[in-house]
Chain A
Amino acid sequence: MGIINSISTNLISGNDKEVASYTKKAMDAGISAETILNDGLINGMNIIGDRFRDHEVFLPDVLMAAKAMYAGMELIKPVLIKSGISSRGKIVIGTIQGDLHDIGKNLVGIMLKGAGYEVIDLGHDVSPEKFVEAAKETGATIIGMSALLTTTMANMKEVVDILKNENLHGKIRTIIGGAPVSKQYASEIGVDRYSFDAGNAVDTVKELLGK
């Protein structure tokens, strides 16, 4: 699989033009969009994600790799939609109200998209009501919340409270992440799961959705 390998290696080095060019070549050679996605793009993102976790590479490398991933995604998206390959699941993500930090949240979005999930990114400073509304509107079954400040993490509990009030607790699952939060905090406020980094967020989503 020379072409597929070239997609991965160019993605890892953040070369978006080459990723686009090899993706095209792969499509012309009759390789399925699913193979390009899983073995080329997602595989490359997984490798860069692991290297970031292990401090072998830094944020700029991940962001450039993500750009390269999108360059390839754009090309295969029409084929994926046409062939009816559905996404693995829908997830609403955002940084909680009062908090403007979105680097971590963006990384989670990148890794989830890279893993084949549909991500609805609400940005930063997202009110608890907006999280729930967006999940209801889009049919997302997971809400992922991020906080970097000890002062804003308390707002995460309100999302759980709204879900409980609307009888959606358990139907729409919740995951939290960010520097000040912990597994203990998640269980204290009734959130379903805690993720310690972007790679772990993907594992947690897989576990919650069973796929």
Chain B
Amino acid sequence: METLMERLGRREILVSDGAIGSMLLSRGLPKTQYPESYNMSHTSVLTDIAKEYLEAGAEIIQTNTFGGSPLKLKNYSLEDKTDTINRIAVEAVRSAVADKAYISGSCGPSGKMLKPYGDVEPEEMYDSFHRQIFSLISAGVDVICIETMTDINEALSAIKAAKDISSTIPVMATMTFDPTPRGFFTIMGTDIPTAVRILSDAGADVIGSNCGNGIDNMIKIAEDFKAETEIPVMIQSNAGLPELKDGKIFYSETPEFMADKAAELAELDISIIGGCCGTTPAHIRAIRDKIDSLI
């Protein structure tokens, strides 16, 4: 199997998967339970979800480890289970996809803030990411995905941990931006040119944006990234903002709508296109079909 970086180097467009959390809920995860704690008790559910995304046409499948850093797991007194939680998540996806897709080790924010804004020392942040990413890499992920970051220093800490553990593992780093009258910024105040410069200087192999408030904004964010960099860009958009209809939560952006917008992302030369909150295997299937029809 060709490596992810070889394919990106040939300027291929790859489709990644969609949301995991909502898929877990629809399979019985109690609303008050921490998604990562499910890894140990319901491993087969993780495999089933990975299979669904694989069948929908995703070539990059994420692990259910977004909140799998010990700093985050500490909230549920699960920090001692860091290695198990991350390892099982990788194995569950591997048993679903074998070598038909790349396994992306998801690594989300710690939920804590670095000093001086919060009370976490840089060393503690680094150690936390190091522990999680070491488990992910040891368990055999093909790529590390540092995502939904708003603090550039926290993102840097995770990139550094990944690069210190393995000089060969590709690292994708994506941040979440809000629209402001002066352009896109993270809530911590990082704009896109700054994010591009700092993330790529730190050695990230793929950079971009995920989550956010709908794919229209993501297209603008993608344009801003492409204006700044030659590094492959990844965009994983929410299916809009959550809305309420008859007491149920739904995301307004349909698979067809997002697929049409994915074609615009492809035109912008975005390398990896996938989904975030509210996207389903149906969204990924529609995006896959659209991207295939362009070639």
A residues bordering B, Cβ < 8 Å? 54-55, 57-61, 63-64, 67, 97-98, 100-101, 103, 124-125, 149-155, 179-180, 182, 184-185, 188
Contact = CB atoms under 8 A, between A and B. Distances in A.
Contacts of B180: 55
Contacts of B178: 55
A98 B117 contact: no
Chain B contact residues: over half helix, strand or loop, or mixed?
loop
Contact of A60 (B33, B34, B67, B188): B188
A17 to B, nearest CB: 13
A59 B72 contact: no
A151 B31 contact: yes
Contacts of B277: 150
Nearest to B34: A98
Contact of A179 (B22, B111, B241): B241
Would you list the 7 A-B pairs with minimal beta carbon distance, nearest first?
A58-B189, A55-B180, A98-B32, A150-B249, A150-B242, A63-B117, A180-B242
- B contact residues, range: 20 to 34
A184 B189 contact: no
Given A100-B75, A150-B242, A188 B247 contact: yes
Contacts of B113: 63
B111 A55 contact: no
Contacts of A124: 75
B126 to A, nearest CB: 20
Nearest to B190: A58
Contact of B33 (A98, A179, A184): A98
A57 to B, nearest CB: 8
Given A103-B187, A150-B249, A154-B31, A188 B116 contact: no
Contacts of B25: 151
A187 to B, nearest CB: 11
A58 B188 contact: yes
A180 B188 contact: no
Contacts of B117: 59-60, 63-64
15 contacts: A54-B181, A55-B180, A55-B185, A57-B189, A58-B188, A59-B150, A63-B113, A64-B117, A67-B116, A97-B32, A98-B34, A100-B72, A101-B111, A125-B75, A150-B249
Interface in B92-126: 111, 113, 116-118
Given A58-B188, A60-B189, A188 B244 contact: yes
Contacts of B116: 64, 67
Given A98-B31, A150-B242, A180-B242, A55 B181 contact: yes
Interface in B47-77: 67, 72, 75
A42 B178 CA distance: 27
B63 to A, nearest CB: 19
Interface string B20-35: 0110010000011110
B16 to A, nearest CB: 21
B10 interface: no
Interface in B144-181: 150, 178, 180-181
